[in-house]
Chain A
Amino acid sequence: MTGRLRDAAAGWRLALRIGRREARRARWRSLLVIAMIALPVAGVTAIAVTYKTYDVNTVEGLDRRLGTEAAARVEAQSPGAVRQGIDPDQATEWLEETGSGPLDAAGVRAIIGDRPVLSVDDYGLDVRTDKGVAWASGLRTDLSDPLAAGLTRLTDGRLPQHADEVVVNAALAARGPGLGEELRIPNGGAEEVRKVVGIVESASVRNEAFVAGATLPESSSGTTSTWLVGGAPVTWGDVEKLNSKGAFVLSRSVVEDPSAAALAADRELRSPGGGPDASETVIVVLIVVMVLLEVVLLAGPAFAVAARRHARDLALIAASGGTARQARRAVLGMAIVIGAVAAGVGSVLGIGLARLLQPLAQDQVSAWFGPFEVPWLQLLTIAVIGFGAAICAAIVPAWIASRQNVVGVLSGRRSESRPSKHSPVIGLVLILAGAALSAFGTRGAYEGIPIALGVLLCVAGLLFILPVLVALAAQFSARLPLVVRFATRDADRHRTRTVPAAGAIAVTVVGAVTLGIAFGSDQEQNQATYQPSFAYGDGAVRVDASIGSLGNPDAAMWQGVADQVAKEIPTATIAPVSAAVFPDPGTYFMIQTADGADVTPGASNGTFGEVLVAEADGTLPSAVTRVLGDADAASAEQTVRAGGAVVFTDGEGPVSKEARFDVQKWDEEAQSEQKLASVTVPATYLHVEDSYAPAYAVVPASVAKKLGAEPQVSGLYLEDARISPAAEQDLAEALAAGQIPTSITVERGFQQDDEAVIVWLLLITLSAVLMIGGALTATYLALNDARPDLATLSAVGAPTRTRRGVAAAYALVIALLGAIPGALIGFVPGIAVSFPLTAEGWPERESVASHYLEVPWDLVGIVVVGLPLLIALIVAVTTRSRLPMVARVE
């Protein structure tokens, strides 16, 4: 047994030695393969390291939550008992409610002994900035207390010492309230003012606005009672005692050195649902397989060329008694050497890259990174996958090398065999299976997993069919110009080199076309189902509810807003819109025909309120007239002048001439509806397509009063508010900070979001990079291989530009051989995925189709025609035109 092992080791030793020498001899080719494998390895490694560094575990995050001095953080949450694991943020359980209130500071001291205790409160609050009002992260505590050490780091000024002093971070200071200035905090209707005495960096918040001080206003949602506790370590026993009183505890000593009991509780309470679900796993596996396939296919041609260059040596070895296995190992040996170097280089490069780019990555996220950390096990896995890619890329060439026709090779005869007759059949079967799976997936079964697997099968099938396509192309090239004929035939003669290169391009194109169709269809659906809020080009100004109610703004205040808007958008016609407002916010109403049929439209944007009130002279609000035809508007206005109502409905037009408004309220004590008022008036019913109803109804002021509601200005309607999005943004910030905080919306119709454009550009760029990479690699390998032929061309008098022509033709042939079948195959999963992606959603409406399909022909055109031509051009421009000399070739 040991003897056999020794033999095997000896066999591999020889193979590795040959591999090392071959790799060194063909230095540029080896470097090319190393780069192809090392770059993706480096990329993934950098991402893994950055994520590990970004991901802060409980131990690493202790100082952010406790500062540097506190022994524990106690959070009294429940009047009853609770249970927790080591970190209360990750494992908790609420037990029975006992009814008594949560603990207070004295209660905490009573349990864990008389220790220093500091109240801390983390919450969000609004602060005024130069532009308007912004959300900030607040920390309400006494930063000068020794227990607060480490929660913030002072970079300028000093810590607050008086009640009206606060510190802010650089992110907030940059937006207005700087050192020595006032910080205004809207609180209810009023504003509180604090003085900024220092600039700090928070241990937990980055980039986002942050403010800290002992007297920040209380959170609107009520403060939780949280304390930092000093003194001796807080033990698991203390934690359990506090838990029994409804408080959660983050204890430094428990986190750093958990007892067996703590670990047991942690295991029991930690939520099990943390792992990824099946579809996520499948998607990740799919991505890994595709990337691996791409790398294998890109590196494959280089090994094919190496094996072919090596063919004579291998044939000589075979002629002198070498076995097929030895021939295989000689090629695999090179893959092992190159793969190992590439994996190592990639890992080191990736770690370096992550370290180098850490400041850049840190800028992109709001949480602080943890200490620089290298996840060795993950990196090892990534490196092994990279190494495996090299081996996979060499398997086919090695297998072919071991089966080559020794006599043929030694006598210089054709060594590439005809493509297998079985492979196209296998390919077709795989593609059909992939198509069937995709078709099955159109119904949205199993969260798209069948479609994902369908893509894999289709791609695999394509790889089986490609050799036949290459051979067919060569057969049909007889009538093509010399350089194209030469390139196509040569591509066919070296199929082991051509097929993986074309395959890499095909895989890229399949991905691009699939994603393109999916994305295009999604956009198509968004566009088709887009609902405008107002007539195109019009806009609205409303009270910004997110800033909080400031009571009822009066007409004069609205006039101020209107003036402000008019100054910025002089072209707009501005009119206030009144709505019926009930004094009791719990009130709601229903609109029915006189005989009790419900007529409320399924969708109303209700920008200005559910029931609008016409002007005293019966004029309808412009928000309504702008979307009505002249005839409708006239009859509607007539009805309102006569004391009737205009009711919008998307049902079959009711024949009723009257409408009944019922005002109701839910009576908590009686547990039943309570009818407050009911008014029946003459009505004009206006049928609105599902797209848009400006409100449920428009009534005259008299009817609103009968219903118990007050007509009140609820916003401004802007006709022809055509301003740029940037101007709208500026105006929005100015309005948000106005006397009545208001927001503005301008209807521009469906807008392609930036994200869509970015995704589009990314798709094209990525396809271009991979296609150009694949085609260039294959082309230069082919040119290198074809040196004797090029020398012959030169000897028989080929003009110098011939070499360029041949190179461009090589690139074109390889790119087209990959792009055309790739695009065709890409349609299968692309169309399939558009079904579940654009399936009818909510609300269900008549005009919404059940499926949208948009083939992005521009993308397909770019990928199938544009990029191959571009690649040919690049090759033509970058290739040396000089032909090699016969005498120097051998």
Chain B
Amino acid sequence: MSRVHGAGAAEVHALRGVSLAAYAGELVAIMGPSGSGKSSLLTIAGGLDSPTSGSVTVDGQDLGEAGISGRAKLRRTSIGYVFQDFNLIPALTAGENVALPLELDGASRRQARAAARTALEEVGLDGFADRFPDEMSGGQRQRIAIARAIVGERRLILADEPTGALDTETGEDILKLIRARCDAGAAGVLVTHEPRYASWADRVIYVRDGLVVDEAGETPGALLVDEAGA
């Protein structure tokens, strides 16, 4: 797929014919310098933006054909997002933030709360449901964001620099959580520029100027060390 912003002299090619697949149980890391198109790739994959040409298929459904409300529905039920700056809603408690996709999808309050509790337990924050985000540390907030991304039966987790605002140790914990979710059967796409986090992935894709320039398979760590050394 390709994505072009603007037109004429102001035309910017964010993505130029990128092709990428992430399978169930697999975590794919995307690396590349700033402005290379990593985040564009992720927003298009999540249906927040549409490609200028090409198509995106999630769980067998074409996002372009799904329409705006169909894509929103997919984000509530199948796709979970994790952002660098957490993007929690400060007016809602941790539990309500996690339950948000389900509540928006029309689930009963009790169902949504129960699912949220399960997700919070999974990220190790049981007992934090009634706290507000600004009463928590950065690491805790990112765990809440992850809980929100995995609540319900999400099949695809998209994480945009989820460790960017965290210290190394906390970042490792967060990656562990994402890895565990993928091991449990979800597909994961992780945008990062830290090789140590990318090493948690099954595959690493290197993007530059809107193009996939390299891809590492079974042992991505070795390739990354080479890259870093080069």
Contacts and interface: CB of A to CB of B under 8 A. Distances in A.
A241 interface: no
A795 B103 contact: no
Contacts of B77: 797
A493 interface: yes
A800 interface: yes
25 contacts: A412-B134, A414-B90, A482-B100, A490-B91, A788-B87, A789-B91, A794-B48, A795-B87, A796-B81, A796-B101, A796-B148, A797-B73, A797-B74, A797-B77, A797-B101, A798-B104, A799-B72, A799-B73, A799-B104, A800-B69, A802-B104, A886-B43, A887-B39, A887-B48, A887-B49
Given A799-B69, A886-B43, A887-B39, A789 B83 contact: no
A245 interface: no
Contacts of A414: 90, 132, 134-135
B76 A797 contact: yes
Contacts of B148: 796
A113 B91 CA distance: 92
Given A886-B83, A887-B39, A793 B89 contact: yes
Interface string B68-106: 110011111101010100011111100010001101110
A802 B91 CA distance: 16
B134 A795 contact: no
A775 B152 CA distance: 37
Contacts of A206: none
B37 to A, nearest CB: 12
A792 interface: yes
A479 B96 CA distance: 11
Interface string A483-498: 0011001101100000
A413 interface: yes
A791 B46 CA distance: 14
A473 interface: no
Contacts of B109: 479
A887 B43 contact: yes
Interface size range on B against A: 20 to 34
A789 B49 CA distance: 18
A239 B93 CA distance: 88
Given A486-B91, A887-B39, A795 B69 contact: no
B54 to A, nearest CB: 19
Contacts of B134: 412-414
Given A413-B134, A414-B135, A485-B92, A795 B81 contact: yes
A493 B104 contact: no
Contacts of A799: 69, 72-73, 104
A723 B158 CA distance: 80
B81 to A, nearest CB: 5
Interface in A775-805: 788-789, 791-800, 802
Dominant secondary structure of chain B at its interface with chain A? helix
B135 A793 contact: no
Interface in A449-502: 479, 482, 485-486, 489-490, 492-493
Interface string A295-314: 00000000000000000000
Contacts of A489: 91-92
A627 interface: no
Nearest to B103: A482
Interface string A338-364: 000000000000000000000000000
A412 B138 CA distance: 10
Interface string B38-75: 01000100101100000000000000000011001111
Interface in A391-450: 412-414
B83 to A, nearest CB: 7
A788 B91 CA distance: 12
A885 interface: yes
Interface in A190-225: none
Of the listed residues A490, A789, A797, A802, the one surrounded by the most CB atoms of chain B closer than 10 A to its CB is A797
Nearest to A791: B87
A796 B43 contact: no
Contacts of B135: 414
Nearest to A490: B91
A885 B43 CA distance: 9
B137 to A, nearest CB: 10
Interface in B196-215: none
A412 B88 CA distance: 12
A481 to B, nearest CB: 9
B69 A796 contact: no
A793 B75 CA distance: 10
Contact of A885 (B49, B73, B101, B104): B49
Interface in A244-260: none
Interface in B164-203: none
A886 B82 CA distance: 12
Closest 6 CB pairs of A and B: A797-B75, A797-B76, A489-B91, A414-B134, A490-B91, A792-B87
Given A485-B96, A885-B49, A493 B91 contact: yes
A379 B99 CA distance: 58
Interface string A846-890: 000000000000000000000000000000000000000111000
Contacts of A886: 43, 48, 83, 87
Contacts of B83: 795, 886
A799 B96 CA distance: 17
Given A479-B109, A798-B104, 4 more contacts: A413-B134, A486-B92, A800-B69, A887-B39
B107 to A, nearest CB: 11
A249 B133 CA distance: 85
Nearest to A474: B91
Nearest to A801: B69
Given A414-B134, A796-B81, A797-B75, A885 B91 contact: no
B86 to A, nearest CB: 9
Contact of A482 (B48, B74, B104, B132): B104
B122 to A, nearest CB: 17
B204 to A, nearest CB: 23
